[in-house]
Structure 1
């Protein structure tokens, strides 16, 4: 079964899509799963692991059904690239197999959840290094070469698109987009920001989006912001700049902690789901093309439900 939305992503035509929450923090802190390197993809290698992932996604799909929205299924493959795989004992063949299994799991869920429509399947890509720090500074050409491998696996699968999350430098975002363009699959880049609304390398969010578009001829389907609380970047959005129209999705943290504080924390800060939902409603008023709504660190299905209450087309004022 080939990708069904690759050339016509419904979120690009104004359709609201919910997506999931903080997969890794949910598994670690709420379900007691050990995830070395913060990697969820090794769960695909066991029946029990696959069932745990299926249960997680089904909880979120049920919210989309309740609110009458579509859904964006993100593969649990944020760490399933070469450098991280090497740390976890997986070679190229292992990673190719596990990335393919991830997309197969999502397409099975799509077939199962026929009451939710549309459902888009995305291959999830993470940073080469630590997403909280620009510790793997690369030229755009090197970033393209690195990410082309995982992008290629998704392009050969039933994935409709690829999404790169928690990127901290423009060059890495450019590399992902160029790799996806060469492979013929739509791409989305989600930058993360610090408490000052700037990328971890100090680049203002708007500058990052504009520069990425300049370096890729606007090839990304849209941009997202992830792994930061809305308070950290809302001020950067209070403008009439044209780049705001390029933000199509938000996956915010529940916590107001900085990245450094989150790294050092041994307990989960799950914030306040209802308050986070209201924060998203404000973001929706600031962002004319915001269509994809989900969570990141510290969030779970409760937060996505609250976000849908405030933002889904059926319920939002």
Structure 2
């Protein structure tokens, strides 16, 4: 006679006692939904690929060539890195443009960035008429840089300009190479301040109010609370402002091009790219090399921003 041992009763902690997981029902999409999704994803992807990535790749390739744009692709001559070495060593406008771009960057960091942050702090305190002030400071952001250039030309005009009329002077604000770069940077700061204000205002709104209340209970004043508690918590916003400011300083083009096509003291890298590519003596390869330099600098700061942000999320 064979004895059959009874099966052990599974304990509640046993895997056998755990209920089987129910698989999520598979959603079957109709053919029409699939076509709609493909169109909604495919059209923007095709536009980005056709208008951004493909021209970018061709620009990088052309930066290693000599081509005047005439005679088709057969007239393209491969010259390696000669365009880059010529830009650095044998093209004086490029050196002046680098200095002006660095000056532009420092000016944006010191003045409109600090002013935009100060305005955001004041508006975040809920002062009377906050929405009106937000609208007033944000209006320049909506305007294009070319339109801002025309507006400030009316202000800086040496004959009938508003500034000379108020000061009672006859300064050539846009024609004097010792003054015009500062005048144009003030016009750029007028627009950049509202943009920075909006970014910092969004960052302040995202901070938990209990953090500030805890700092106040510990005896910290408004200034100490901001610099010791609030400002460090806005690290993602600070990084975003840094990247945007660098890119704005690099791609500054519309203002100087509207005024005098980036000449006579207003040389910028972006203006040199345009003057070499579509100018009278078209040098597409050389202009592409200048544009590639701008691209590399921008990508460096974007990569730093993404690395820090993603690392912070992992932590």
TM-score (norm 1): 0.22
Ranked by relative contact order (alpha carbons within 8 Å, sequence separation 6 or more), the top structure is 2
TM-score, structure 2 length as denominator? 0.22
